[in-house]
Chains A and B, each alone.
Chain A
Amino acid sequence: MNVNARTGLFVLGLAFLLQACAGPQKVPKNLLSLTDSQMKIRSFQTRTFDFSDQNKVLRGVVAALQDLGFIIERANAPMGLITAGKFAGGGLSGFVELTVTVRKKGEQRTEVRVNALFNTRPIEDPKIYQNFFIAVQRSLFIPG
């Protein structure tokens, strides 16, 4: 072993040793703060429908998700909450998860908000959310 390799090994060993000295990582300050992109995503994720019956919209969302091959994992009617997931399929490996909240907005309208994750990372593509709302719309207005 030449001198260079030995120094390299020493430095590597030292790095490992010193790693123990580093304290636990601090919680990032912006953990709960809203960024601009998050605000933008929120607008893609939200749509208001002209229905006064929250339960009707909630069931419409459930039916749309079933049409899309999603598995409804949890649902809570009073809170208007749905959690669903499906395996991505189509040559894509991974899991798509989403949470939908359906809330009354004023007297005549109901608001639907969806958060979708792909492999635990938030989906930020507006086109994907558009497709979701097209499916919901179909299920609400063209019932099978």
Chain B
Amino acid sequence: MGLTLLGGLLFSGCVQMAKPESFFEMTPEMAQHRALQTRMFETSNEKELLSASAAVLQDLGFQIEESAVGVGMLRAAKERSAREAGQEIMQGFLLILFAITGKAYIMPVDLHQQINATLVTRRSETDSSRFLVRILFHRSIWKGDGNAGDQAIPPGQQRMEMIHDAKIYQQFFAKLSKSVFLEAHQI
């Protein structure tokens, strides 16, 4: 038993060592994400595309945090509550379940989230009269505090996830295409 555990620990060490190589490795789903996040516009006016994108993000409640015209880059963020009914019901359910067994357990739930967008425009290589717009949405979520028996679970545990929901990207590009009076072509 002890040996198995030790072996497990050793091997988990190996996994950790091998992993960081993947930071810059291309995976098949990256091409899918690119298609999801990119649209092509038939315009050579990059500045207008950028400022229209900024305006759309503003309409969606984002604050522009960083902009670099020379690279065609925008970064924006908005803060929202991350409370979800499902989690709160689960919290209540677990509280009652543990209370029956005589233990106190309050599961931490998601409280707050920051939704971020990074947008980059780039001239199409195949046709210089066209521009590509690529936007990446991701969010950071902060958990509230909890309690397990006598042990308090501190608040502020953070996790981050990329948003790969096609609807969100479609919505953004629909708005952008309206704003520049141009059709957003899939690549």
| SS class, residues of chain B in contact with chain A | mixed
A60 to chain B, nearest CB (A): 9
* Contact yes or no, B118 A127, CB < 8 A: no
* Contact yes or no, A58 B19, CB < 8 A: no
* Contact yes or no, A128 B20, CB < 8 A: yes
Interface residues in B, total, Cβ within 8 A: 38
Q: How far is it, in angstroms, between the C-alpha of A58 and the C-alpha of B37 when the chains are bound? A: 20
* Contact yes or no, B72 A59, CB < 8 A: yes
Interface residues in A, total, Cβ within 8 A: 39
Chain A residues with CB below 8 A from B123, complex form: 59
* Contact yes or no, A77 B70, CB < 8 A: yes
The listed residue (B21, B71, B122) touching A131 by CB distance below 8 A is B21
* Contact yes or no, A59 B122, CB < 8 A: yes
| B34 located at the interface, meaning its Cβ lies under 8 Å from any Cβ of chain A in the complex | yes
Q: 6 closest A-B pairs (Cβ-Cβ)?
A: A77-B70, A143-B125, A131-B24, A75-B68, A132-B24, A75-B71
Residues of chain B at the chain A interface (Cβ within 8 Å): 15-16, 19-26, 30, 33-34, 37-38, 66, 68-73, 75, 116, 118, 120, 122-126, 132, 134, 136, 138, 160, 162, 187
